[in-house]
Each structure stands twice: as structure tokens, then as C-alpha cells.
Amino acid sequence: MNIQKPLKPLKSAPVTFVLCKIACGDLLNFDSEHLGSVQDAYRQEGYPHYGKVSSSEIEVVRQPSVLVRQHERLIHHFISNDFNDGVAVSGGDLFVYTNNYINFESYIKKVLNAHRIFSATVNMQTIAGIGIRYIDFINPKQGKSLPDYLNPAILSPEYKGDLSSIEPLNSSMQHTYQTELGSVLVLRSLAGRGLKIVPDDLVSMISPMLVKAATESTLDNTSGISALIDTDHFVQFKALENVKELNLRELIDRLHEYTSNLFFENVTSAAIKEWS
């Protein structure tokens, strides 16, 4: 399928959530030494609401013998006045997210500003990796089905949306690509009934924003057959990069370009016309 990128931004784009992660390296003392100053800095920049989420991570160490360790990880969230944008920090990992994506230019400014504040406040000028992730929710209009919007090749072979005699729950498929940037680009599709607006692994990231806004119920969406298209593009450097020697804006721009091209390669011209 050829790329059919629209010349103008879509008026009703299906994107529901965008997340950019900048891994700056290890910062084990963030909670004890930097949390207060970072919270103050983001409060002054229009992120006054604070929340935190605790999660468990499993680490498997294979030398000299297999050892499984469980770590507790705290993610600190700083949320905007309108509850549409957020910055999250866990150790040396910075996350900048929004559920009100307008266009890339306005979003990248928020990402670069959030990183500038973080790196200056904790005095951290290194980058270990960068990723950008788009979540699009495809909800067919009455009388239409997912193949009217999406390239059937990215829908799971188990998808049964056109069989009225059964009621499927969901099905998923993943495609992974290596790019000339040395990055990995992943396209995941999830089709079914009663989908949330984000995949399960992102619920903990968006929940603090929705809780603060008292709208957690918006995680649940239509009961009809719909699809989540999850494009996830990331690059991990072999060694820590100095942010002063790395054109952060240009690199995120390239990651976005590949991600955008992949999305529009897999949606139909009729879908683009409907969203325009």
C-alpha cells in the first residue's frame, strides 16, 4: 500500500495518546535528592498537579546462575492545568505525554522544554536512548468496518469482524522493523470489542492524568468492534551520548517521520478523507 500522507493536518485525527521517552541514564538518587526541585521547576512551567504510580519490575540475571529479582519502581507525574499534558520521571527516565495531540510541532516543543528543565535541574547532560509512541483509536462509523479504514495485512488473521454469527473479544498482531537510523520500529494492532483508549501497558501512565481530572471512566470506550494502532519507535545508543553533541530535535523528528509514514501506509484513502 502506498503512503497517502495528507497535505494538511487531519481535523479529526484518531490519535488518542502520544508518549516520548528520553532515557538519560542512571539516576538512583532522584527520589531522595531531586524530586522536590524538579516538581518546583515543572510547577512553574504549567504542570502544577502531582501524582505518583508504583509498579513492580522483574529482572532476570543469568550470571553466574539464573537469579530473578523484583524491583519497585516509582514514577512521578507532573500534570498540566488542563489535564491534557504530563511529564513523568522515574530515575533518569523522562516521559512527556499528551492526550490532546494537535500536531508534531506543538508537541515537540513540549518535549524539548520538558527535557531542558529536567536536565538543567538534575544536572544530567547524557542520553542513553529515545523513543516516541503514537496510539490511534479506530472506531468505524455505522455501516463500516475496520477494513474500510485499515490495511487488512496489519489486522490479525484471527480477526472475525465480518462474521455476524460470533462475538469476538479481541485479536492482535505485531510487525517489527529495523531502520537505517539503527532504531527499531514496531507496529502493533489490537482489534476487538470494548477496547480502552490505550493499550494495557500504558494505563498506569495515563491514569494519574485522568484521576486528577476525575475522568478515569474515559479509559473505557465503545462496545463495538474497533482497533488500536500502536506505533512505537525507539533507538538505544551503545554508549551514553552527550546531549550537547546530539541534535535531539532532529533525531526525534526523524523517529516521528518514520512512524508517521508507517501509519499512513496502512490506512485507506477513505479513512483519510473521513478524518480530513
Compute the distance between CA of residue 71 and CA of residue 56 in angstroms, rounded to an integer. 6
Question: Residue 130 is placed in which grid cell?
Answer: 529515545
Of 201, 33, 197, the closest CA to residue 124 belongs to 33
Compute the distance between CA of residue 130 and CA of residue 254 in angstroms, rounded to an integer. 11
- pLDDT cut 90: percent of the chain above it: 58
Cis peptide before 64 (omega within 30 of 0): yes
pLDDT tens per residue across span 3-38: 567 777 788 999 999 999 999 998 988 999 999 999
pLDDT tens per residue across span 180-222: 999 999 999 998 888 888 888 898 888 888 876 665 545 665 5
Compute the distance between CA of residue 251 and CA of residue 57 in angstroms, rounded to an integer. 29
Distance of CA 207 to the CA centre of its chain: 14
Where do the domains of the chain lie? 15-25+97-275
